Chains A and B, each alone.
Chain A
Amino acid sequence: MTSVSNQNEVRPPAAEQPLETKRLLLKELVAHLREQRTQAREDWARRIQEANLLTAMSSEEIFAEATSVYDNYVEALATGTFEALQAYARNLSERIIPRGVETNEVVGIVLLLRDVLARSLFSKYRSDFAMLNRILDAYEPAANRIAITVAVGFVQERERTIREQQEAIRELSTPVLQVRERLLILPIVGLIDPQRARQLTEQLLRGIRANRAKVVVIDITGVAAMDTSVANHLVQTVEASRLLGATVIVSGLSPEIAQTLVNIGVELSKMTTVGDLQGGIEEAERLLGYRVVPKLSDAAEPEAV
């Protein structure tokens, strides 16, 4: 864990002090920060705006968040526990990530707060240099740890959001659609890698089961290129579907793909292939016994299905 090692590197001067003194110092520090609450908050909010950070938020919002962050910050210093701050950081990240707040902004504002507080300590203990040193020794490791906690919380939250979105994209990228009773369409668009091919097959098989599908049209118009492994996945999908009792029609093989498949010698003879999606659906309807009749001829002479 980098956060722990960083913090240990910073700590040595402070660790040399007797623990009791350190606690007293922190106590004094916290008292000072509570006293300075109004002043420091305003300074901080002003400096955030001056530095052009958090531009996505209004100044009222910045001030409100600044207040909560400040209180949580002082609380973490006072108690020495970071769970509450961590939870708050996660919550804050959850709210501000959708608004486009960047990592550098979050790190920036935390470092600004650290700076604002350090300045206020400087001005208070200006006269007593030794005391200032000791106070800073007590303050800095804790402040660093807080900055790290908030930044790591933000990054983790962001990664979580990204993971969720990736998951959503993956789900969306392989829709299994029912166009008629017992007829499914699986349009495939884009690149197929082994993982996606696997997921595709699983979703299709589940879809066949759920919709009691009899015929499936796999449309690969949107697939630019195909290699041996993808072709084999396709063959496997067709065979697995057949084991569930569904017939698969593959549509939309481009001339390039057809040529590739013939060149690499993939066994496609077992597959029913049709030129385009329309043809695929028509073939599927034929297999299912549907018959699409234009309205005019319908009135003239309805044929028996």
Chain B
Amino acid sequence: MEVPILKQGPFLIATIQTALHDADLVQLRDAIVEKVGKLRAKGVIVDVTALDVIDSFSTRTLSDVAHMIRLRGANTVIVGIQPEVAFAMVQLGLVLEDVATALDLEEGLAFLNGKDRKGERTVPRRR
């Protein structure tokens, strides 16, 4: 199943709707990395709200996406990890190291906007 990648201003938004097979994940990774260059995007949001399981392969692929996109000059933020999923992930030692995360789409956009304006800021200032 293909994941839609939507362009929203300078950002790309990929919302994962259902659990994905490994091949689909790899395809998503490649599609995102390609589109970032083609559309000259400054940031990518991967929304995993719908996922109730995030396994080691998903974690690795997501962190690969983030690192590859950094090499292409843009930022990535993973949004919508459920509390239970987060807890399970840390117990398995899957911590998405060096990858930005945010609560939901709105926070993700705020994060990327902050990066856009101010460079390396982890927590955006309040308006």
Contacts and interface: CB of A to CB of B under 8 A. Distances in A.
Whether A and B are associated in the same complex: the answer reads yes
A206 B83 contact: yes
A240 B90 contact: yes
B95 A245 contact: no
B83 A288 contact: no
Contacts of B107: 212, 214, 245
A7 B37 CA distance: 83
A242 B108 CA distance: 13
Contact of A212 (B95, B96, B103): B103
Nearest to A214: B123
Interface residues of A, number: 25
B103 A202 contact: no
A289 interface: yes
Contact of A201 (B79, B87, B124): B87
Nearest to A204: B83
Contact of A244 (B91, B101, B122, B125): B101
Contacts of A243: 78, 81, 85-86, 89-90, 95-96, 101
A244 B103 contact: yes
Interface of A is mostly: helix
A237 B83 CA distance: 11
A287 interface: yes
A209 B103 contact: yes
B103 A208 contact: yes
Nearest to B81: A243
A247 B89 contact: no
Interface in A28-66: none
B119 to A, nearest CB: 16
B126 interface: yes
Interface string B35-52: 000000000000000000
Contacts of B111: 245
A205 B123 contact: no
A289 B110 CA distance: 14
A242 B123 contact: no
B102 interface: yes
> Which secondary structure characterizes the binding site on chain B?
mixed
B103 A205 contact: no
A244 B90 CA distance: 12
A289 B126 contact: yes
Interface in A240-257: 240-247
Interface in A205-242: 205-206, 208-209, 212, 214-215, 236-237, 239-242
A236 B124 CA distance: 24
A215 to B, nearest CB: 7
Given A209-B103, A243-B101, A244-B101, A202 B83 contact: yes
B83 A205 contact: yes
A290 interface: yes
B91 to A, nearest CB: 7
Given A236-B91, A243-B81, A205 B122 contact: no
Nearest to A241: B86
B126 A288 contact: yes
Given A208-B83, A243-B89, A243-B90, A287 B123 contact: yes
Given A245-B102, A245-B107, A246-B103, 12 more contacts: A205-B84, A205-B87, A214-B107, A215-B123, A236-B91, A239-B90, A240-B90, A243-B89, A243-B101, A288-B125, A289-B124, A290-B126
Interface of A: 201-202, 205-206, 208-209, 212, 214-215, 236-237, 239-247, 287-290, 305
6 contacts: A206-B83, A212-B107, A214-B123, A239-B95, A246-B103, A305-B126
